[in-house]
Amino acid sequence: MPIAHLSSVNLYYEVHGDASAPPLVLLHGATDTFRTAWNKQIGAFSQKYFVIGLDMRGHGQSDNPAQRLDLRQMADDVAELLAYLGLSPATRVAMCGFSGGASVALFFALRHTGWLRKLVLVSNNLERDQTRLEQGFWNPARMQAEQPGWWTHMNQFHKHTAPATLLGWWEAEDRQRPDFAAADLAPITCPVLVVGGDSDAIIPLEQTIKLYRALPKAQLAILPGIAHGAPTRGAALFNQIIFNFL
- Tell me the per-residue pLDDT of 171-189, one tens digit each, with 9 for 90 and over: 999 988 889 999 999 999 9
Average pLDDT over residues 85-89: 96
pLDDT digits 0-9 by tens, 156-167: 999 999 999 999
Residue 168: is its pLDDT beyond 80?
yes
The answer to whether residue 130 scores a pLDDT higher than 80 is: no
**For position 173, which CATH number holds?**
3.40.50.1820
In sequence order, which residues have a C-beta less than 8 Å from that of residue 99 and are 6 or more positions away?
A: 29, 30, 32, 122, 123, 124, 202, 203, 228
How many distinct structural domains can be found in the chain?
Answer: 1
Distance CA 80, CA 8 (A): 10
**Would you place residue 155 in the very low, low, confident or very high pLDDT band (cuts 50, 70, 90)?**
very high
**Domain span at residue 211?**
3-245
Segment holding 107, helix H or strand E: helix 100-111
How far is residue 71 from each of residues 104, 105, 106, 107, 122, measured CA to CA in Å? 5, 9, 9, 7, 16
Cite the beta strand spans of 10-115 per DSSP E: 10-16, 23-27, 50-54, 93-98
| Per-residue pLDDT at 1 | 75
- C-alpha 246, offset from chain centre: 17
